[in-house]
Chains A and B, each alone.
Chain A
Amino acid sequence: MAEIRLENLTKDFGGLVAVADLNLVVDDGAFIALLGPSGCGKTTTMNMISGLETPTSGEIYFDDQPVSRVEPGRRNVGFVFQNYAIFTHMRVYDNLAFGLRVRKPRPEKAEIDGEVKRVAEIVGVSRILDRRAGRLSVNDMQKVALGRSMIVNPAIFLLDEPFSNLDAAFRAYMRAELKRIQSEVGQTMVYVTHDQVEAMSMADRIAVMNLGVLQQYGTPGEIYDAPENRFVAGFVGSTQMNFVPAALVPLGLRGGVNGRSLTVGIRPESIRIVDAGAPEATIGARVTLVEPLGAKDVVHLAFDEYDVRAIGTPGERPRIGENVGLALDPGRVHMFDDETGKVVR
């Protein structure tokens, strides 16, 4: 329900720069993911948005209002922590009611009661309202954490890897639930994760970060098919992209090279395994390992001194040690400058 704008946001912990000059705009009502490995600055960014940390420089705007000097309680944000941080010594009911009870002026008891029951219904904890929060299952704690933040109707919702502790089936369920709730209520959501599958499946746009620097900000499709630098290309994709020096790959290079050293990147699913010497084969390689994954195989091949992975069909499994040809789809080849890491088009 509010647009978030980060301008030149920097957080310096006396030597360690956690977030460097971050510029980002999150549209009103959008669901974006902050994706990156540990230490990339995503949690620090979230803390600054919520107010738990103050930026060293730069500014944060909610709907054009600067908020970096505003107390967390006044920013109208909700925050779900990775370990939920529910109030274990209280009942579920009191956890949900907390946000309303500390409001000034304090709402009527009946009103609080109505709201608690409403939210409990939405997240699915109506039956355990009287239970002590410390004695819940992990899944239920999650729901309570969500409900507790929801009850105050924040304009912006921040979630820090909220589902990483859940079992896989429940995680998938919660992801769907979250998107449903968000599309109904229309809050702006910022979702932190290191799981790129999660980010790709949930977010409208993804902000990929590494070492405090924003690498790319785009839709999942853009991130996947048009990575802007080598880091993004390598980070996203369940079987990692292959990187090989451009000099080894005989492709008709688009445009001039200007003497720069380049690396070619291509995703395993864009490589077809054909017979060695077949006309479509761009390069040849030798099979070193086959990982059967059921619906597909991941075939490891030795190309020069590099390990290249390709996706094969189980019916046509090559033998280990066999020399085969690899057909690279030219439309799906990316080239990266070795010095800057940026993509070359």
Chain B
Amino acid sequence: MIVAVTGGKGGVGKSTVSVELGAALDATVVDADLGMADLPTGPGPDLHDVLAGRADPVEAVREGCGPVRLLPCGRSLAGARAADVTALDATLRDVGAAYGDLVVDCPAGLKADAGVPLAVADACVVVASPRRYALADAVRSRELARELDAGLVAAVINRVVDGAPEPTFEEALGAPAVTVPADPRVGRTLESFRPVVRAAPSTRAAESLRAVADAIRRAKRV
């Protein structure tokens, strides 16, 4: 199963939620943010090389370098320019065939680099911030996902401080909304590359993220 983690805005926590869900589902995380990747990378081929036809998709997956298997993305503009987003379909299917479930961290925006992962994915999770304007972005992302046939499993309202309008989100999006409370440990997930679902499993943030993972598992069985 391929799950796309999307959301119109940048900085709402798509990459963090991707890593957390990857850890909770024991899935392989693919950093598909071709222009502005932020998951850890290192020496070796990355998604830019794969999409430019310079590397094999399965060989670019990092195993044992952290808590989750990761297909990282390069950082250079030249790499982003050389990468052919239409090759993402075959890439994700190859990696999925080798490693099973995938969580794809999508870029912000509504261009093809955000749309192609949704077109390939079986389902998607929309991440939003608990601000008033965030609902409109979440609705736009949901519309794009619907157009491209990626069913919305859940909306994650991320970094909630004092109560989020869950019913409003659920009514507007037609999918369950899950609130992830603001927790500095979640904020450090990318920096330290230690997802809270492993490092602090009893926190409320980890419980919420596991609830999203459970919703994905249920969607997979259907």
Q: Do A and B bind each other?
A: no
Q: Which residues of B contact A (CB under 8 A)?
A: none
